Amino acid sequence: MKKMLTMLALVIAAPLALQSNAVLAADTEKTKKVVYHVNKADMNTIKAGLRNVTNHINSPSGPETQIEIAVHGGGINMLTEARNDPQLQAAIDNVKANGVEIKVCANTLRGKNLDVKEDLYDTQESDIVPSGVAHVADRQMEGWAYIHP
């Protein structure tokens, strides 16, 4: 009888435990979304933008914020210059280590005749979007906050 009551208690408790895990998972979801728009070639502006992203990550709302950096036009310098700039590499590595995705415009790559593997720092084919400006607009229409450093 004791074994049967124990089994019954486990049968009742298991779904409740699973439900509480689902609630915990929902609590850790990122509820805020921000896209940073990088399209200027000026390296001081690009580095300031990366500092903005780092500050955002380290802010009280950072853990609950999904962040993307959308790169097109002159902003591609962020990834071309990083190939030879260890400080820029470290800044990019830091934001990526904190879950930031960097989305790169395919139109810019074609227009500047750049190869993802050869010319860009730590960029994968999966990071490429058809149009950087359209990606930013789509994110805004999806309710993402927009920041242009």
CATH number reported for the structural domain that contains residue 91 in this entry: 3.40.1260.10
pLDDT tens readout for residues 78-123: 999 999 999 999 999 999 999 999 999 999 999 999 999 999 999 9
**Claim to verify: residue 47 and residue 3 sit in the same structural domain:** no
**Claim to verify: residue 9 and residue 67 sit in the same structural domain:** no
**Claim to verify: residue 6 and residue 35 sit in the same structural domain:** no
Domain span holding position 63: 31-147
**Claim to verify: residue 52 and residue 17 sit in the same structural domain:** no
Tokens of 114: 């750049």
Q: What's the confidence (pLDDT) of residue 1?
A: 53
Distance in angstroms (rounded) separating the CA atoms of residues 75 and 78:
6
pTM, entire model? 0.81
Q: How confident is the model at residue 7 (pLDDT cuts 50, 70, 90)?
A: very low
Phi/psi of residue 102, each to 5°? -110, 120
**Claim to verify: residue 37 and residue 100 sit in the same structural domain:** yes
**Claim to verify: residue 46 and residue 23 sit in the same structural domain:** no
**Claim to verify: residue 51 and residue 93 sit in the same structural domain:** yes
Q: Is the pLDDT of residue 11 over 80?
A: no
Q: Is the pLDDT of residue 9 over 60?
A: no
pLDDT tens readout for residues 12-55: 444 444 443 333 334 457 899 999 999 999 999 999 999 999 99
Is residue 41 left, alpha or beta, with left meaning phi > 0 and alpha meaning psi from -120 to 50? alpha
Q: How many CA atoms lie within 13 A of 3 on its CB side?
A: 0
**Claim to verify: residue 3 and residue 64 sit in the same structural domain:** no
**Claim to verify: residue 78 and residue 24 sit in the same structural domain:** no
